[in-house]
């Protein structure tokens, strides 16, 4: 059985064409399947649209309605918990990932790979996003020791054993492609097509993108912290030489009062480095803080699936619903 997980955050403009393309591809696959839509606190008509589709195809469509916006990766985590497939595919709701690529991913898992990563060909994003991704991919590989070519592409496939391990990982913020790569023993990466968004706008502001990438870098490695220590060491050694130089110059040339602004510039630079390093240490402290609070990572308001009414009575919907 194949499960497809689609996180949805205010995607009313693209959902109708997503249903129109994804379900025929899955029907044509000739295997049992389910599509798990996770409504991540949408503020538009996404949920009614999803429920309408659920009523049309209750045999294959499932809807998890989260109690707020928990972010794309947490939405997928909720999907992983509910997915029943032996093969689990994740994809975006905005049709930037063509559903027509799914059979190729399934074929790779059939061949024996446990994680199928993807690389977006001819990526249709802004130049800024593409350049930033390039830097992030390179830096992340250096920092984490993983080797992935495109961390950002969420059209991916996972075998059941990998999904089970991911379900056991209970960290509060995570980055699913990197997490899966950590657990994989036989991963593969394939090239997939990429399109422009069908409608609506990207749900990632610059701030959210920076946050997400901090999660990726601090969530999978201690290298940033170690780099900070090394930088501190380097600056100290440099300063020692500089102080020695100034001492000898004092004996040689005598007292000098010039260079106040040079001194200020050096001071500001070092202050900047100090604040940056405190920030990096703070990122890790923040992560620890989030972990020790033990709050739920996401809250499911309702899970729409046939037969679920046996677990909890529901008076609002004709269909069965259950609190997970
Ligand atoms: N998404 C989500 N929760 C969020 C942000 C995004 O579920 O808080 C979903 C969104 O609906 C889409 C996918 O994650 O299905 C990717 O988002 P988007 O296309 O905005 O990201 P981009 O392609 O710009 O990286
Ligand atoms: Mg997108």
Nearest to 71 by CA among 196, 173, 188: 173
Cα(142)–Cα(209) distance, rounded to whole angstroms?
A: 19
Mean pLDDT within 72-98 = 96
CB 202 near ligand 1, within 6 Å: yes
pLDDT band at 309 (very low <50, low <70, confident <90, very high): low
The pair of structure tokens assigned to 105 is 């991913």
| Cβ contact 214:281 at 8 Å | no
Q: Which residues contact 241 (CB under 8 A, 6 or more apart)?
A: none
The C-alpha atoms of residue 94 and residue 90 are separated, in whole angstroms, by 13
* Candidate from 4, 5, 9, 150 with most ligand 1 atoms within 8 A of CB, to mutate: 9
> Is any ligand 1 atom within 6 A of the Cβ of residue 80?
no
Of the ranges 98-102, 218-222, 249-253, the best mean pLDDT one: 98-102
Pocket of ligand 1 contains residue 9 by CB under 6 Å: yes
- State the pTM of this model: 0.88
What's the whole-number mean pLDDT along residues 172-196?
93
Residue 76's pLDDT is what? Answer: 97
- CB count within 10 Å of CB 22 equals 21
Place of tokens 């390179």: 138
CB of 72 within 6 A of ligand 1: the answer is yes
Candidate from 44, 50, 196, 203 with most ligand 1 atoms within 8 A of CB, to mutate: 203
> Residue 199's pLDDT is what?
86
- Residue identified by tokens 């602004």 is 261
Q: Give yes or no for a contact between 104 and 179, defined as CB atoms under 8 angstroms apart.
A: no
Residue nearest to atom 21 of ligand 1 (CA): 202
Could you list which residues have their CB under 5 Å from ion ligand 2?
A: 92, 94, 96
Residue-wise over 87-113: b if at least 16 C-beta within 10 A, else e?
bbbbbbbbbbbbbebbbebbebbeeeb
Residues 172-187 have a mean pLDDT of: 93
* Sheet strands side by side (includes 33-39): 187-192, 115-120, 156-159, 87-90, 2-8, 33-39, 61-66, 300-304, 321-322
Residue 17, sorted as left (phi over 0), alpha (psi -120 to 50) or beta, turns out to be: alpha
Ligand located closest to 204 CA: 1
Strands (E) across the chain are located at 2-8, 33-39, 61-66, 87-90, 115-120, 156-159, 187-192, 300-304, 321-322
Residue of the CA atom closest to atom 23 of ligand 1: 202
State the average pLDDT for the chain: 91
Say if ligand 1 is within 6 A of residue 89 CB.
no
- Contact 21/100 with Cβ under 8 angstroms? yes
Considering every ligand atom, which ligand is closest to the CA of 72?
A: 1
Q: Tell me the per-residue pLDDT of 260-276, one tens digit each, with 9 for 90 and over.
A: 888 899 899 999 999 99
């Amino acid at each position: 059985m194949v499960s497809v997980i689609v996180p949805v955050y205010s995607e009313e403009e693209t959902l109708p064409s997503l249903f129109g393309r994804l379900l025929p591809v899955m029907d044509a696959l000739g295997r049992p399947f389910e599509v798990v839509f996770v409504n991540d606190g949408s503020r538009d008509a996404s949920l009614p649209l999803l429920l309408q589709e659920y009523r049309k195809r209750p045999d294959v469509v499932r809807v998890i309605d989260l109690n707020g916006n928990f972010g794309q990766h947490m939405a997928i985590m909720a999907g992983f918990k509910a997915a029943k497939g032996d093969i689990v595919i994740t994809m975006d709701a905005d049709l930037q990932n063509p559903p027509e690529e799914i059979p190729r991913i399934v074929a790779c898992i059939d061949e024996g790979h446990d994680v199928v990563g993807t690389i977006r060909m001819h990526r249709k994003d802004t130049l800024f996003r593409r350049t930033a991704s390039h830097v992030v991919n390179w830096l992340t590989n250096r920092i984490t020791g993983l080797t992935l070519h495109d961390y950002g592409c969420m059209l991916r496939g996972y075998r059941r054993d990998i999904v089970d391990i991911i379900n056991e990982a209970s960290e509060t913020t995570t980055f699913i492609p990197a997490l899966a790569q950590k657990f994989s023993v036989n991963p593969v990466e394939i090239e997939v097509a990429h399109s422009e968004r069908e409608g609506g706008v990207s749900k990632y502001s610059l701030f959210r993108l920076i946050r997400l990438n901090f999660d990726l870098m601090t969530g999978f490695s201690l290298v940033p912290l170690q780099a900070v220590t090394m930088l501190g060491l380097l600056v100290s050694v440099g300063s020692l030489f500089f102080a020695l130089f100034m001492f000898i110059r004092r004996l040689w040339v005598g007292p000098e009062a010039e260079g106040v602004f040079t001194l200020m510039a050096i001071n500001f630079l070092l202050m900047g480095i100090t604040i940056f390093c405190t920030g990096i240490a703070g990122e890790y402290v923040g992560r620890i803080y989030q972990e020790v609070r033990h709050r739920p990572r996401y809250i499911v308001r309702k899970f729409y699936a046939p037969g679920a009414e046996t677990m909890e009575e529901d008076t609002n919907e004709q269909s069965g619903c259950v609190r997970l």
